[in-house]
């Protein structure tokens, strides 16, 4: 049975300021999720911005997760916000992980929010279980904005592996490809710092100021935070349409010279390596979607789309298919998670190789943050370009990776990782070792 929430709509003239006030207001809660598109044009977008604050009911089992998720969703057909960690792969594909996870997000966590706020254009809709929307609206408008960022003192991110170790690993992965073990593998490295205190909300605001992206998120779960500047959508459902938009293909920008920047975009579009990577992941996603979509409905809507972000140009492909409107989110996860852009192909084998060659548990990195509506629509991002922070042990984790094929140049792949980590480095005003 659908929950009848107290709901009201408000017109807000200065929506940019209001969104900042929304985030400040939501941060008072121990659990909140703020998602912002930063006004990027998106054919499939339902909202410009959302905030979920306060947990009325939570879902966070440690085993038999997907079967329990279906039952939980049937019991609570309301708004749900939350995350899925990359390590859920262990249940889906019957794999194991031995690496340490110092951030310690639960494998899965969803909460039914006390308050949900959606923004589309200048319209703000506030929905509450017990509170009154007009009261929440007034509280938000009274929020004071932080106009400065307190720089953390002397934080240096270290890499789990040296440049030399990284290059040697890439050569080993290329040998796996040569032997036919896999075609493409997403290899990632962690940059981290212990005993480093940051102000999560201010760090997030600085991150999206440096790198505003269409699938950004500020996600707070008690003492754990994800400050996410993701450019990538994992999966979205709207009525009977299922959409996935894998990102595969990256090139730096030249913001000092417009013609040079256009030339870089053209180079990315015409890159044989990046196009081949993109096709392989598009085929993998098509295969995943075909497991749950109506036969013959899966199609590539856009191949090799080039999209521009503050630090990089990216190649994005859009794949969609038709599904029953009442399909369970657990069934979608079972068929498609983890997303192919963060694994490679064939998926199960490369996840085994990732475990073998990476040195930390990815945790929420390569996982997803998103929401499910009362109508059973949903939208989830890919957690990349993110700062993960455990406030209790003051541990900071930032990951970067790239797709490795037999034609990959190890030094170029290493430099791509540093490029992707640049926005996080600038947001924290820290150095990389």
Q: Quick one: pLDDT at residue 420?
A: 85
What pLDDT sits at residue 350? 97
Burial code of 42-51, b = ≥16 C-beta within 10 A, e = fewer?
eeebbbbbbb
**The overall pTM is greater than 0.75:** yes
Which residue carries 């990776």 as its tokens?
401
List the structure tokens of 301: 């809507």
The per-residue pLDDT for 1 is 56
Q: What's the CA gap between 341 and 345, in Å, rounded?
A: 9
Q: Exposure pattern of 157-173 as b/e (b: 16+ CB <10 Å)?
A: bebbbeeeebeebbeeb
Work out the percent of the chain whose per-residue pLDDT is above 90. Answer: 82
Nearest residue to 230 (alpha-carbon basis) of 388, 123, 104? 388
Q: DSSP characters for 41-62?
A: --TT-S-SEEEEEEEEEEE--S
Q: How confident is the model at residue 277 (pLDDT cuts 50, 70, 90)?
A: confident
- pLDDT tens digits along 305-361: 898 888 888 899 999 999 999 999 999 999 999 999 999 999 999 999 999 999 999
Quick one: 361 exposed, middle or buried, by C-beta within 10 A (0-12, 13-18, 19+)? Answer: buried
Distances, alpha carbon 146 to alpha carbons 21, 65, 156, 213, 423, in Å = 10, 39, 25, 21, 20
Q: Is it the case that residue 104 has pLDDT exceeding 80? A: yes
| Among candidate residues 387, 4, 398, the one with its CA nearest the CA of residue 207 | 387
Mean pLDDT of 132-143: 98
CA torsion angle for 368, 372, 377, 379 (degrees, to 10)?
-30
Backbone φ/ψ region at 39: left (φ over 0), alpha (ψ -120 to 50), beta: left
Contacts of 45 (CB under 8 A, 6+ apart): 37, 214
Q: Which of 210-214, 225-229, 288-292 has the lowest mean pLDDT?
A: 210-214
pLDDT of residue 430: 67
Q: What is the pLDDT of residues 223-252, one digit of tens each?
A: 999 999 999 999 999 999 999 999 888 888
* Catalytic residue list contains 355: no
pLDDT at 146 over 80: no
Six-digit token string for 186: 């997403």
230/31 Cα distance (integer angstroms): 20
Distance between CA atoms of residues 228 and 216, nearest Å = 5
Which residues face 202 on adjacent strands?
none
Cα 426 → chain centroid: 19
* Backbone φ and ψ of 175, nearest 5°: -70, -35
Indicate the pLDDT class of residue 200, thresholds 50, 70 and 90.
very high
pLDDT digits (tens, 9 = 90+) for 393-426: 999 999 999 999 988 999 999 998 988 888 788 8
Are 279 and 269 within 8 A, CB to CB? no
pLDDT score of 150: 72
At 154-199, the pLDDT tens digits run 788 899 999 999 999 999 999 999 999 999 999 999 999 999 999 9
Residue in 232, 355, 358, 416 annotated catalytic: 232
What mean pLDDT do residues 280-304 have? 95
In the chain, the domains with their CATH numbers are 6-140+153-432 (3.60.120.10)
Does 207 score more than 80 pLDDT?
Answer: yes
pLDDT of 17? 96
- 392 within 8 A of 408, measured Cβ to Cβ: no
Q: What is the mean pLDDT of the chain?
A: 93
Question: How high is the pLDDT of residue 248?
Answer: 83
Region for residue 228 given its phi and psi (left: phi exceeds 0; alpha: psi -120 to 50; beta: otherwise): beta
d(CA 433, CA 416): 16
Whether 248 sits among the annotated catalytic residues: the reply is yes
| Strand locations in 6-101 (E) | 6-11, 31-36, 49-59, 80-84
Of the candidates 236, 248, 347, 422, the residue annotated as catalytic is 248
Residue appearing with tokens 């947001």: 427
């Amino acid at each position: 049975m659908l929950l009848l929430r107290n709901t009201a709509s408000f017109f807000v003239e200065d929506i940019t300021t209001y969104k900042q006030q929304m985030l400040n207001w939501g941060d008072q809660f121990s659990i909140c999720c703020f998602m912002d598109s930063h006004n990027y044009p998106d054919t499939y977008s339902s909202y410009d911005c959302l905030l979920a604050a306060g947990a009325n009911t939570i879902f966070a089992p440690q085993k038999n997760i997907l079967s329990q998720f279906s039952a939980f969703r049937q019991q609570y057909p309301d708004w749900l916000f939350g995350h899925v960690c990359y390590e859920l792969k262990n249940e889906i594909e019957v794999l194991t992980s031995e690496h340490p996870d110092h951030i310690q997000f639960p494998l899965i966590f969803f909460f039914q929010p006390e308050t949900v706020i959606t923004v589309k254009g200048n319209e703000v809709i506030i929905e509450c279980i017990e509170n009154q929307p007009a009261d929440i609206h007034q509280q938000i408008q009274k929020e004071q904005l932080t106009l400065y960022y307190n720089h953390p003192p002397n934080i240096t991110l270290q890499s789990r592996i040296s440049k030399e170790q990284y290059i040697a690993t890439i050569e080993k992965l290329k040998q796996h490809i040569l032997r036919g073990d896999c075609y493409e593998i997403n290899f990632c490295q962690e940059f981290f710092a212990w005993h480093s205190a940051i102000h999560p909300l201010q760090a997030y605001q600085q991150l999206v100021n440096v790198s505003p992206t269409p699938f950004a998120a500020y996600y707070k779960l008690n003492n754990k935070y994800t400050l996410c500047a993701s450019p990538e959508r994992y999966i979205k459902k709207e009525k009977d349409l299922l959409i996935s938009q894998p990102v595969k293909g990256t090139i730096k920008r030249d913001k000092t010279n417009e013609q040079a920047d256009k030339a870089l975009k053209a180079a990315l579009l015409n890159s044989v390596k990046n196009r081949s990577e993109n096709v392989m992941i598009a085929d993998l996603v098509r295969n995943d979607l075909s497991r749950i979509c109506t036969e013959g409905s899966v199609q590539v809507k856009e191949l090799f789309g080039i999209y521009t972000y503050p630090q990089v140009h990216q190649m994005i492909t859009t794949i969609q298919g038709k599904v029953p409107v009442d399909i369970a989110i657990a069934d979608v996860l079972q068929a498609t998670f983890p997303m192919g852009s963060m694994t490679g192909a064939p998926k199960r084998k490369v996840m085994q190789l990732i475990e073998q060659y990476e040195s930390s548990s990815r945790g929420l990195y390569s996982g997803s943050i998103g929401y499910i509506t009362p109508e059973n629509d949903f939208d989830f991002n890919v957690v990349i370009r993110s700062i993960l922070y455990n406030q209790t042990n003051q541990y900071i984790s930032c990951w970067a990776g790239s797709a490795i094929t037999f034609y990959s140049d190890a030094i170029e792949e290493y430099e791509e990782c540093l490029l992707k980590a640049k926005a996080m480095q600038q947001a924290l005003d820290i150095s990389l070792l």
